[in-house]
């Protein structure tokens, strides 16, 4: 792995981890589902326009019954609408750092579900990483719950991470390498439609506009929403998906650090211990696949 790949990986993690703190800013002054639907509409249209400019077609191989169409639908609903929708709702009540840590457990959940239900074998290192990583997450959640964290918000985040893990297992290898940006854009538009419908039925469209809110929203659209996606594909193309995924072990530490800087969230000693344990567990799981 060369220096450029390392810098790309760190850049991706920074972008991904910053999404939780900026989402916390957004949901403080606007309905969460409406805000997320608007974000996906903006980023989806930009991604589709870029894909068309690159010569990618929105006519997917196999039509509506093909594997790429299935990937668009499953990921659009499970990742964009369910996973991120649930997280945006939960961050009305819990810290951005706690949301980031629970979301970071997704690789561990994928490994656990694959081992338990799909018969995917794991090496001793992978099993050790799974147990270690989940122990770190449970340590942090237990500490935060005993400190007054909202149990409903924590439960919603866990459901969101589970939805993303199930989607990841359902469409693994189904996206196709020649049409990725178009697929991502269409997934975002699927998420925008689903979230917009639910928002229209359940939320009152009231926004308290401020410079801070506008900056956070634009940042969400352009950086975690679009730039991180493009950087991830570039990283995978450079070093492969398995090696690129090892950077996920940085997510817990970066997530809590960014929340501390942007939101002033305080971290206790057990939080730091739990972050270190979780990061080591994720790293072990990813290295076991290399």
Tell me the two tokens of residue 52.
């068309």
Regions of the chain with pLDDT less than 70: 1, 64, 171-178, 241-242, 289-290
Helices (H), 147-179: 151-170
pLDDT at 242: 62
Angle (CA) 69 70 74, round 5°: 120
Per-residue model confidence (pLDDT) at position 171: 61
Q: Are 289 and 121 in contact (CB under 8 A)?
A: no
Residue closest to 218 by CA, chosen among 288, 210, 235: 210
Domain ranges, ordered by start, for the chain: 3-287
Tell me the CA distances in angstroms from 15 to 8, 57, 93, 285, one per residue in order: 11, 28, 23, 22
Give the pLDDT of residue 289: 67
**Direct distance between the N- and C-terminal alpha carbons of the chain, in angstroms, rounded to an integer:** 13
CA distance 152 to 120: 32
* pLDDT score at 152: 94
Largest CA distance in the chain: 53
The pLDDT of residue 172 is 58
Rounded Cα gap, residues 286 and 242, in angstroms: 7
Q: What CA–CA distances, in Å, run from 125 to 63, 132, 169, 182, 276?
A: 41, 10, 21, 37, 17
* Residue 94 per-residue DSSP state: S
- Strands of 5-156 (E only): list them: none
The reported pLDDT for the residue numbered 61 is: 73
How is the chain classified by DSSP, letter by letter? --HHHHHHHHHHHHHHHHHHHHHHHHHTTS-HHHHHHHHHHHHHHHHHHHHHHTT--SS-TTGGGSHHHHHHHHHIIIIIIIIHHHHHHHTTTS-HHHHHHHHHTHHHHHHHHHHHHS-----HHHHHHHHHHHHHHHHHHHHHHHTT--HHHHHHHHHHHHHHHHHHHHSTT-S-TTSHHHHHHHHHHHHHHHHHHHHHHH--------HHHHHHHHHHHHIIIIIHHHHHHHHHHHH-HHHHHGGGGGHHHHHHHHHHHHH-----HHHHHHHHHHHHHHHHHHHTT-
């Amino acid at each position: 792995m060369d220096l450029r790949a390392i810098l790309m990986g760190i850049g991706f993690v920074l972008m991904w981890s910053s999404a939780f703190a900026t989402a916390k800013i957004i949901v403080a002054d606007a309905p969460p589902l409406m805000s997320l639907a608007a974000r996906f509409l903006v980023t989806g249209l930009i991604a589709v326009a870029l894909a068309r400019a690159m010569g990618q077609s929105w006519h997917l191989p196999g039509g509506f019954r093909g594997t790429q169409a299935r990937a668009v639908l499953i990921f659009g609903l499970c990742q964009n609408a369910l996973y991120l929708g649930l997280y945006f709702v939960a961050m009305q009540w819990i810290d951005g750092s706690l949301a980031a840590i629970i979301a970071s457990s997704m690789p561990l959940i994928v490994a656990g579900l694959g081992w338990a239900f799909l018969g995917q074998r794991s090496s001793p290192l992978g099993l050790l990483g799974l147990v270690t990583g989940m122990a770190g997450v449970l340590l942090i959640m237990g500490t935060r719950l005993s400190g007054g964290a909202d149990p409903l918000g924590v439960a919603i985040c866990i459901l969101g991470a589970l939805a993303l893990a199930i989607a990841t297992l359902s469409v693994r290898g189904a996206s196709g390498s020649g049409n990725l940006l178009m697929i991502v854009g269409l997934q975002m538009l699927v998420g925008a439609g689903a979230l917009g419908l639910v928002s229209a039925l359940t939320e009152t469209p009231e926004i308290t506009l401020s410079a801070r809110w506008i900056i956070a929203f634009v940042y969400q659209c352009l950086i975690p929403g679009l730039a991180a996606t493009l950087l991830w594909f570039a990283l995978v193309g450079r070093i492969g998906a398995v090696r690129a995924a090892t950077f996920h072990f940085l997510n817990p530490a970066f997530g809590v650090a960014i929340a501390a800087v942007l939101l002033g969230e305080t971290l206790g000693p057990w939080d730091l211990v739990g972050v270190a344990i979780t990061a080591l567990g994720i790293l072990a799981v990813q290295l076991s696949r290399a």
